[in-house]
Amino acid sequence: MSDARGPNETSTDGAQPGGSEGPGYTTPQAAIEESTPEKVAYVMGLYVGTDVDAPDFLGVVDVDPDSDTYTEVIDRVEMPNRGDELHHFGWNACSSSCHTEGLERRHLVIPGQRSSRIHIVDTNDRRNPELTKVIEPEEVFEHDLSAPHTVHCIPDGNILISMLGDRDGDLPGGFLALDEDFEVEGRWEPPGEIEMNYDYWYQPRHDVMVSSEWAAPKTYYPGFDLDDVEAGNYGQRIHVWDWEDRTVEQTLDLGEEGLIPLEVRFLHSPEATHGYVGAALSSNVFHFYDAGDEWRAESVIDVDAREHEGWEMPVPGLVTDLLVSMDDRYLFFSNWLHGDVRMYDISDPSNPRLADRIWAGGHFGDPAPVQNRELAGGPQMLQLSLDGERLYWTTSLFSSWDNQFYPEEAERGSVMLKADVNPRRGTMQLDEEFLVDFGELPTGPARAHEIRWPDGDCTSDVWQ
């Protein structure tokens, strides 16, 4: 579809993309066929932990090549407080509710990782979104939870947020539920099901959810300390949940090869019982699947640590983000410390085949500047267009970890980059014309983190 006034231009005034009654598209294939190219991206921008006296913000980035303001941050929704560390965020509704009349994919739920404050932003006007509600930390602490991370809508209009700690920033974490009006409903699961938490993904058709483990907030907040790894303070397990019962059915210990399992991605097909999780520290990608009587997880990609001149120990790639294309054909992931983005063909989910990779920034990428801009970090949060042809990424991981591994990023700010993907050939090419420089903002250089599209994306849409 090339109609310039497709769903990307109109606000959601009742006419939903894809012709369904509710938000989103009826199937992943419909998302590919019926979507028009993305025109704006919502990107987290951060000042937390720096001396810049400004709050974090939601950035609106113009990604429409025909626009006069292409590659510029055209609007910033500032949060009311400093100190949030906006990190991951999600929609109030996704394709999982596409048959639920009356729901709209319109509000972004934006948690502060450090503050535990939760913001609701109305994107009815796509280029000028508006903050409409704030849930203060005290309300979250009341449920003995803190450090909100992943936001998914659940098919009935409610919203679920993974929480990494208890009210003191210690273990255990859990899940917080919000209702349709963004009121805190309370804890979603019976307390005590898990200790550590991080990301999660659900497949309602199979009544399953898989969650991963980072660490206690008090462990990862200050920065990365090898002593904590030795003390067993970092996670290496994933949890398979009964989605209806909200209880853990099985816990899979990934062992040493699975240290710090972060992002969890199921394939998009609602029929699929295959998914991937990236283990950041051991730099492996695990394939998990339903083997009939139980779930299994196997390491299918191993990124070798590399010697760095002048550094004492071999450096892991640090697989910090991964995503699956909407057609479930490719897996992309980032090696934040090494500096490459990889593309694997996953037609056979248990045997990923390296298709292509790009070096950009990082400690090994011989970081060539893009448009004369030195890159201060490595590839990190990824987002792919619904048609699978444009891959975008930002470079910041987490403020304290950035300062540890890429100290220059605080002064230079992050960048957002893009590669053109050819899904037929399985190739990628860095688009040298595309550079969004978060170092050039009026309030000072900012870090840039997760990316979302108004019409759903490869890291948030679920089908029922």
> C-beta of 76: minimal distance to other proteins in Å?
19
144 binds other proteins (CB under 8 A): no
217 binds other proteins (CB under 8 A): yes
Rounded to a whole number, what is the largest CA-CA distance in the chain? 60
Which listed range, 70-78, 163-171, 293-301, 328-336, lies at the site for other proteins (CB under 8 A)? 163-171
Which listed range, 14-22, 60-68, 218-226, 325-333, lies at the site for other proteins (CB under 8 A)? 218-226
Both structure tokens of 289: 């699947």
- 3-class secondary-structure state, position 438: helix
190 binds other proteins (CB under 8 A): no
Contacts of residue 75, defined as CB under 8 A and 6 or more positions apart, other chains included, come to: 59, 60, 127, 128, 129
Going edge to edge, which strands form the sheet with 330-335?
319-324, 330-335, 340-345, 353-359
> C-beta of 222: minimal distance to other proteins in Å?
4
Contact 425, 356 (CB under 8 A): no
> C-beta of 17: minimal distance to other proteins in Å?
38
> C-beta of 310: minimal distance to other proteins in Å?
8
Instruction: Tell me how far apart the alpha carbons of residues 149 and 116 are, in angstroms, rounded to a whole number.
Output: 9
433 binds other proteins (CB under 8 A): no
> C-beta of 147: minimal distance to other proteins in Å?
8
453 binds other proteins (CB under 8 A): no
According to CB under 8 A, which one of 35, 71, 115, 325 is a site residue for other proteins? 115
Task: Give the residue from 235, 230, 225, 228 showing the smallest Cα distance to 195.
Answer: 235
Contact 94, 167 (CB under 8 A): no
Q: Please, which residue, 58 or 315, has the CB nearer to other proteins?
A: 315
Contact 220, 229 (CB under 8 A): no
Sketch the per residue contact string, 71 through 110, with other proteins: x for CB under 8 A, - otherwise.
Answer: -----------xxxx-------------------------
Instruction: Tell me how far apart the alpha carbons of residues 275 and 349 are, in angstroms, rounded to a whole number.
Output: 8
According to CB under 8 A, which one of 20, 36, 146, 459 is a site residue for other proteins? 146
Going edge to edge, which strands form the sheet with 107-111?
90-91, 107-111, 118-122, 130-135
Instruction: Tell me how far apart the alpha carbons of residues 364 and 52 are, in angstroms, rounded to a whole number.
Output: 30
168 binds other proteins (CB under 8 A): yes
DSSP annotation string for 325-379 = -TTS-EEEEEETTTTEEEEEE-SSTTS-EEEEEEE-STTTSTT--BTTBPP-S--
According to DSSP, the residues that pair with 131 across neighbouring strands are 121
According to CB under 8 A, which one of 133, 167, 206, 246 is a site residue for other proteins? 167
165 binds other proteins (CB under 8 A): yes
> C-beta of 381: minimal distance to other proteins in Å?
20
> C-beta of 59: minimal distance to other proteins in Å?
20
Q: Please, which residue, 84 or 457, has the CB nearer to other proteins?
A: 84
According to CB under 8 A, which one of 186, 222, 271, 422 is a site residue for other proteins? 222
Sketch the per residue contact string, 14 through 53, with other proteins: x for CB under 8 A, - otherwise.
Answer: ----------------------------------xxxx-x
β-pairing, 130-135 vs 284-290, is unpaired
170 binds other proteins (CB under 8 A): yes
- Positions touching other proteins (CB under 8 A) are 48-51, 53, 82-85, 114-116, 137, 146, 165, 167-170, 217-218, 221-227, 308, 310-315, 399-400, 403-405, 407, 410
